[in-house]
Amino acid sequence: MVSFDDLRDRLTATGARLRAAVPLAELTTLRVGGPATVAECESTEALVATVRELDAAGIPVLLLAGGSNLLIGDDGFEGVVVRIATTGVELTGDAVLAEAGANWDAVVAATVEAGFGGLECLSGIPGSAGATPVQNVGAYGVEVANSLRRVRLLDRASGEIRWVEPGELGFGYRTSVLKHSDAAVVLAVEFGLRADGSSAPLGYRELANALGAPEGESRPAAEVRAAVLRLRADKGMVLDPDDHDTWSAGSFFTNPIVADENVAAVRAAIASHLGADVAVPTFPAAGGVKFSAGWLIERAGFAKGFPGDGSPARLSTKHTLALTNRGAATATDLVTLARTVRQGVAERFGITLEPEPVTVGVSL
């Protein structure tokens, strides 16, 4: 391991601010994670120079922006955490251009306030603009892939910087070629907007109902944003330091997509536990059927708040899909809870849930 002094010498010219032994719990929304050296980059130039320098020296890098989709182990990270703290946001015609570290909800708010639509369903999602393409962030029937125009990437193997079209990013449900990959750093993102200020067509029944609108129609973006923020707050899906239900990484498991050939077996397992006439929420998906992870967790016997008072890590009391830190949880506590839930669902229904956050130094 390179010493802190060596690192400081190496990174001085990059413009990054180096800090030793930072508890990563301070930088993640789950508020867990052991110590690491952190290089804070407040400009894109500093970010590029820092990552290039660390890569050239063969020093492991963990990119971290809002820390809202990361579960970092209690031993921290052996290497350098590059904290992306750029902030620039610019509205240009019918598009918005944001530096990677810009707060995502502030980007959405700026577009809505300026009279543009398109991003309102993605209101209230924590974290940075630059992380949104990483897992093709989505909510209420909309994904960033729907309106992303281009992404500015630093290719870490070649050191080159270039704008990339969405077609190159392999977007899928909560995934892209950027997730679980060290190949590139997102430096900036550009989204196309709806110049008439109308929302994207409402593709999610709960949201359409909240607005008293038929599915498929649009509404003024500002109205949709307000409704989304209300719905999300009721589920503990908007960060609030005073509410432990939001000390989470959002949904901890993705909704499982079961391949067509396995759907009958899963339905049979569900029927054998819950009765043949149980209504199972499912959604069409490429190559199979998407089941609701939250529904499966609850029906496997894990109620909101599981395992109950006194446990440092619990399911949110508002939403079974969020694993939460009640104040004193460690990463180990969260992993233990995640394993218990995952095993319970697998035993009852034959589906292995996959974590949505990126895990570092821990695995399920």
Ligand X SMILES: Cc1cc2nc3c(=O)[nH]c(=O)nc-3n(C[C@H](O)[C@H](O)[C@H](O)COP(=O)(O)OP(=O)(O)OC[C@H]3O[C@@H](n4cnc5c(N)ncnc54)[C@H](O)[C@@H]3O)c2cc1C
Residue pair 194/225 in contact (Cβ under 8 Å)? The answer is no
Q: Which stretch binds ligand X (CB under 6 A): 6-14, 110-118, 165-173, 246-254?
A: 246-254
Indicate whether 228 belongs to the interface with ligand X (CB under 6 A): no
Indicate whether 137 belongs to the interface with ligand X (CB under 6 A): yes
Mask of contacts with ligand X, 163-182, x by CB under 6 A? Answer: ---------------x----
Indicate whether 134 belongs to the interface with ligand X (CB under 6 A): yes
Cα(73)–Cα(281) distance, rounded to whole angstroms? Answer: 34
Active-site annotation holder among 174, 225, 232, 314: 174
> What single letter denotes the amino acid at residue 232?
R
List 38's β-bridge partners, or say none: 19, 81
**Strand 323-325 versus strand 313-315 pairing type:** antiparallel
Indicate whether 237 belongs to the interface with ligand X (CB under 6 A): yes
Q: Which of 67, 76, 117, 141 binds ligand X (CB under 6 A)?
A: 67
Q: Which stretch binds ligand X (CB under 6 A): 91-99, 133-141, 262-270, 278-286?
A: 133-141
Cα(264)–Cα(277) distance, rounded to whole angstroms? Answer: 15
Mask of contacts with ligand X, 316-335, x by CB under 6 A? Answer: --------------------
Active-site annotation holder among 251, 299, 314, 316: 251
**Strand 89-92 versus strand 313-315 pairing type:** unpaired
| DSSP secondary structure letter of residue 254 | P
Cα(41)–Cα(82) distance, rounded to whole angstroms? Answer: 7
Active-site annotation holder among 40, 99, 190, 356: 356
Q: Which stretch binds ligand X (CB under 6 A): 11-19, 87-95, 122-130, 260-268?
A: 122-130
Structure tokens at 118: 């398109």
From the list 82, 6, 5, the residue with the least C-alpha distance to 38 is: 82
From the list 3, 100, 104, 98, the residue with the least C-alpha distance to 59 is: 3
Catalytic residues: 174, 251, 356
Contact positions toward ligand X, by CB under 6 A?
A: 29, 63-70, 84, 100, 125-128, 130-132, 134-135, 137-139, 178, 185-186, 237, 239, 246, 248-250, 358
